[in-house]
Amino acid sequence: MNTRQWLEKLVAFDTTSRNSNLELITTVRDSLQAQGITPWFAHNKERTKANLFATLPATQGPEAGNTQGGIVLSGHTDVVPVDGQNWDSDPFKLTERDGLLYGRGSCDMKGYIAASLALVPEFLAMPRTKPLHLAFSYDEEIGCAGAPSMLAELQERGIHPEGCVVGEPTNMQVVVAHKGINVYSCSVHGKSAHSSLTPQGCNAIEYAARLICTIRDFADAYKANGPYDTMYDVPFSTMTTNQIRGGIAINTIPNLCEFTYEFRNLPGMSPEKIQEQITHYVRDHLLPKMQAEYPEAKIDIGVIAASPALETAEQEAITALVRALTQDNEKRKVAYATEAGLFQRIGIPTIVCGPGDIIQAHKPNEFVAIAQLERCEEFLRKLGRSMQLA
């Protein structure tokens, strides 16, 4: 299948993060197996989702058959929901209009996966001195939660790639750095009472509101005082509360309020130290006030997802290679997070470069330009050829 055909097939799978991706991932596995490649899966605990990793061994020279070293082509298979969005066409049916291919995930980031899979026959025919690896993950859209199990198994198997290209949409431009993302859940437990008997209760919503406002205060401080990196469109670390739920009736003091918050830290900033600000406020200020009203009050904070920031040095071989193949020497940093930081954390230097524009991601009528996919194909061909003997 060519890239267009692969993309049509991939978009047709509704791999919204709340769903399983197994149908898509087994389809990819079966295609690779039919070409003589043996992928392996790294499942989630429930075995309802899986990452896929596959290696195309070196084919040339004394390293023929070798699976060590080489470069990883990495992409995520999950997509964000279409709920409440007004699409002009079926989001799970690839539709072409004016040189653009519409469909959920066409840009973010099934286009890159489609191009990688379409070129597998060419890769296999190339006389490469190093292997190429394919790494397709789940649950990237909910905080890069799926890839860690794959990377842990990669280490257990003793596979040590030399570099990685994560194909998030960058208009095929080179991105060398991005922020980290850290997502937390918070449950504030108070005591119910009739609202006419306020002193007999402990209002979970009101105490949650105090914590939420404090998180906003921390965010305002980072905006006002830095640290800053002006290469980012948002040049400081950010903190936001994005979901909240609590209360059962207008005349009942709520005993529970739950919310989620996140922060996106610049490279070099410690996520642990940022979170410690919140932990300190809860432990030393907020919780004592709650327990003065209700001794059994508590606040539980849990980690939903955490993915490290990325900052890849210009001296890394993968940086030089991707710059040479794209003829792009501009240094770019982005505020959104990817799985690239996870690869870097285990010692695999990583660059972000893929087809499409991040502006299209997560929106109704998401699309990728056919011209972008063609540029991606040419880049991947050059990448394969760069592994040939001189």
CA–CA distance, 356 with 358 (Å, rounded to integer): 7
Strand segments (E) across the chain? 40-43, 50-56, 71-76, 95-97, 100-102, 132-137, 163-166, 177-178, 181-189, 193-194, 238-246, 252-253, 256-264, 298-307, 310-311, 333-334, 350-352, 367-369
DSSP, residue by residue, 258-324: EEEEEEEPPTTS-HHHHHHHHHHHIIIIIHHHHHHH-TT-EEEEEEEEEE--EE--TTSHHHHHHHH
Pairing of strands 132-137, 71-76: parallel
Q: Which helix (H) or strand (E) holds 157?
A: none
Residue at token pair 């919780």: 287
Check if the beta carbon of residue 302 is closer than 8 Å to that of residue 267: no
Which tokens is 14 given?
């509704």
CA–CA distance, 112 with 104 (Å, rounded to integer): 13
Active site residue 140: yes
Active site residue 78: yes
CA–CA distance, 315 with 156 (Å, rounded to integer): 28
Which tokens is 147 given?
């890839």
CA–CA distance, 308 with 310 (Å, rounded to integer): 7
Determine which one of 108, 140, 168, 229 is catalytic.
140
Radius of gyration of the chain (CA): 23
The amino acid that residue 301 corresponds to is: I
Determine which one of 8, 63, 78, 366 is catalytic.
78
Active site residues: 78, 140
